[in-house]
Each structure stands twice: as C-alpha cells, then as structure tokens.
C-alpha cells in the first residue's frame, strides 16, 4: 500500500480483520491507530462543574471514620470572629467561645451501563466502536455529575421567601435576581453586584471570579453596541467571534449544555476557596472483559463535592419568565 494512502483507503475486510486481531492479541490500545474517521451526530463536552470546583485527588487517610461505612471527607470553614467594639477605659474584653464550622463532602460512585458485543460483529465496523462508546459513556457520566452539582446550586439560590428572586433564607443575601429586557450591559452589570454585596449585616462579601452561561446566551454579547463595549471590541467580535474568555473582568465559561444552564441565565461564582471542595478517590476507570467471543465493558468514577459557603453561588435570569 502506498504510504500516502489514508485509513479510509484500506479495504474493508483488511480493516475489520485488523481491529478484531488487535482485540484478540490484547492490543486494544492500538486500535485507534488503525481505524478510520466516523461521522459525529452531536457535540459533546467534559464537565462544567469540575471547572468551577476543581476536584483534588483524595487518599484513604483523608476519609472520615464513623460508625457506618459511608465514605466522606470532613472539611473546615473559617470561623466567624465576633465584632470588635469601642469600650471605656478599665473595661475587660467580653469572653467568646471559639467555634469553627465544618461541612462534609460525601463520596459516591458514577457508573456507565455495561455494554456487550459479539467480538466478531466488530468486523463490520471501520472505526473503534468500543472506544467511541466508552468515551461517550464517560461524557454521560460527567453530565450526571454536572446535573447533581447544578441541582445543588439551584436548591441554594431558590431557597427564598416564596421561592421567588430575592434574599436567600440562610445567608440573608440576594443570590437570585431577575431582569427584564434581556442580556444588556446594564443588566449584566447589575447582576454582577450580587456577590460583592453582602447581607444586611455586611457579611458574605466576595468578588466575582467566573460567570457561566450557555453558548446561545453568549451570542447575545454580540448585540452589545459601540457605546457599551467600544468600537474596537465590536469590530473584533464581528471579525473573529467570541474569542475572549474574559468579559468585564470575569472569567467566562461557556457550555453547550443548555439543559444544565438554560437560555437567558448566568451563574456567578467567586474563587474556589470561597465556594467549596471536590475530591475523587478513583478517577474514570474502564473495565473491559473479553470472554470467548464476547466483549463487555463499563466505566466508573468515585468522588464527591461539597458547598461550604452557600453565599458563594449567585444566579441571574435575564427574562421575567422564571423557570427555576
């Protein structure tokens, strides 16, 4: 065969036989080098939540030991010191008992379905079906992880009086706001005030670090005109598209997962040290078993997350049709 020929030009019987032989010889990791391209029907991406709270590798000694066998890691939250006060001379300081709150990061396992296939049926494929489905399974597992994290975010911000935009019941801080008129610079700027603004007692003040939106909502940034973002920025957007990952000084995370982050919604987060922790005991691992003429496989992950500061989650909806 000519060295310039591509995988697509390899005869079908030769390609299929090569794939099966690689499996039989235990060289499954080399299959990708011998396969052709496959037409994709959907764009997939990794975890969004793990970019907001980056997981750390945990070890057994970090696990809490309790009467049951549940796996969890206990994390500590900074103590809230009492306020200082003016006093007259010859006044002894008032005694206060020190207390440091904690929160748990429970561990759980994510598993993909067990996939089975007759090994000889792989002869009819010109791409590594095993590898493709394994990769998609892990991405579905990451979607399940994201769904759990954002469900937690939603429960936090919607815990308000009457479950309408307003102050969160525990923090007393506005963490859910709604705006009419769509995504404008004015509305976006007002939404960015939630994290820096504390509650009535001046607590829970933080700085914005990241905002998360879906790809459809991000397109509305192109609608901002010259007086709002400047002639140079408008020109750049029209020539190159949304190439910047920083908008108004915030890191911008754009996702295609509109089921996770619906249109007209933006989440705001501080640095991770003001939000929570995530850990994993077992990173994504694939189990593959070949028995006689059958192959079966599945992937699994063992990890967890915890929100230590509920005031570090803010959500803005840029329409009045609130779907919480």
Q: Do 296 and 276 form a contact (C-beta atoms < 8 A)?
A: no
Q: How far is CA 214 from CA 155, 211, 267, in A?
A: 20, 10, 10
What 168-174 contacts at long range (C-beta under 8 Å, 24+ apart), as own/partner pairs, is 168/310, 168/311, 170/310, 171/199, 171/203, 171/204, 171/310, 171/311, 172/199, 172/200, 172/201, 172/203, 173/197, 173/198, 173/199, 173/203, 173/204, 173/311
Q: Check residue 57 and give its pLDDT.
A: 95
Q: Which of 311, 315, 314 is nearest to 274 (CA)?
A: 311
* pLDDT higher than 50, residue 239: no
- The arithmetic mean of pLDDT across residues 300-311, rounded, is 94
Residue 202 inside a domain? The answer is yes
Residue-wise pLDDT for 76-91, tens only, equals: 888 776 667 778 888 8
Q: Check residue 227 and give its pLDDT.
A: 47
Residue 211 inside a domain? The answer is yes
Percentage of the chain exceeding pLDDT 70: 77
Q: Residue 12 — pLDDT band, cuts 50, 70, 90?
A: very low
Q: Check residue 290 and give its pLDDT.
A: 84
How many other CB atoms sit within 10 Å of the CB of residue 72?
Answer: 19
91 token code pair: 């006044």
| Rounded Cα–Cα distance for residues 87 and 94 (Å) | 10
Handedness of CA 33, 34, 39, 40 (dihedral sign): negative
Residue 303 inside a domain? The answer is yes
Range with the lowest mean pLDDT among 130-134, 284-288, 293-297? 130-134
pTM of the model: 0.77
Q: What share of the chain is helix, strand, coil (3-state, %, to 5)?
A: 30, 25, 45
Residue 32 inside a domain? The answer is no
| Rounded Cα–Cα distance for residues 148 and 66 (Å) | 25
Residue 289 inside a domain? The answer is yes
Residue-wise pLDDT for 133-158, tens only, equals: 777 888 888 999 999 999 999 999 99
Residue 159 inside a domain? The answer is yes
Rg for the chain, CA atoms, rounded: 26
Residue 179 inside a domain? The answer is yes
Residue 245 inside a domain? The answer is yes
Q: Do 300 and 111 form a contact (C-beta atoms < 8 A)?
A: yes
* pLDDT higher than 90, residue 45: no
- The arithmetic mean of pLDDT across residues 107-132, rounded, is 81
| Rounded Cα–Cα distance for residues 14 and 17 (Å) | 5
| Rounded Cα–Cα distance for residues 266 and 314 (Å) | 9
Residue-wise pLDDT for 172-225, tens only, equals: 999 999 998 888 888 999 999 999 999 988 889 999 999 999 988 888 877 765
141 token code pair: 């597992």
| Rounded Cα–Cα distance for residues 222 and 185 (Å) | 11
- The arithmetic mean of pLDDT across residues 245-250, rounded, is 76
Q: Check residue 168 and give its pLDDT.
A: 95
Q: Check residue 62 and give its pLDDT.
A: 93
More confident residue, 58 or 40: 58
- In the chain, alpha helices (H): 12-24, 49-52, 129-157, 185-191, 215-218, 226-229, 231-240
| Rounded Cα–Cα distance for residues 151 and 320 (Å) | 21
- The arithmetic mean of pLDDT across residues 48-61, rounded, is 94
Number of compact structural domains in the chain: 1
Range(s) of the domain holding residue 213: 106-317
């Amino acid at each position: 065969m000519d060295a310039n020929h591509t995988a697509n030009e390899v005869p079908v019987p030769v390609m299929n036989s090569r794939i099966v032989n690689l499996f039989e010889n235990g060289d499954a990791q080399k299959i990708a080098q011998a396969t052709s391209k496959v037409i994709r029907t959907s764009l997939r991406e990794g975890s969004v939540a793990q970019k907001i709270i980056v997981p750390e590798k945990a070890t057994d000694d970090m696990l809490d030991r309790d009467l049951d066998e549940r796996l969890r890691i206990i994390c500590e939250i900074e103590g809230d010191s009492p306020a200082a006060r003016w006093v007259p001379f010859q006044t002894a300081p008032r005694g206060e008992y020190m207390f440091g709150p904690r929160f748990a990061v429970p561990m759980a396992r994510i598993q993909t379905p067990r996939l089975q296939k007759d090994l000889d049926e792989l002869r009819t494929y010109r791409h590594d079906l095993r590898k493709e489905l394994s990769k998609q399974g892990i991405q579905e597992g990451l979607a399940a992880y994201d769904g759990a994290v954002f469900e937690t975010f939603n429960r936090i911000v919607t815990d308000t009086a009457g479950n309408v935009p307003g102050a969160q019941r525990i923090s007393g801080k506005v963490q859910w706001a709604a705006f009419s008129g769509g995504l404008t610079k004015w509305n976006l700027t007002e939404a960015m005030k939630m994290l820096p603004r504390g509650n009535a007692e001046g607590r829970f003040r933080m700085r914005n670090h990241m905002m998360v939106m879906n790809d459809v909502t991000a397109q509305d940034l192109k609608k901002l005109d010259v007086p709002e973002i400047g002639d140079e920025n408008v020109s750049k957007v029209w020539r190159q598209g949304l190439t910047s990952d920083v908008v108004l000084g915030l890191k911008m995370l754009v996702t295609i997962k509109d089921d996770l982050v619906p249109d007209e919604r933006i989440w705001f987060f501080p640095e991770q040290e003001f939000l929570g922790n995530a850990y994993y005991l077992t990173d994504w691992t694939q189990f593959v078993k070949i028995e006689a003429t059958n192959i079966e496989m599945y992937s699994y992950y063992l990890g967890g997350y915890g929100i230590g500061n509920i005031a570090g989650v803010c959500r803005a909806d840029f329409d009045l049709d609130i779907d919480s």
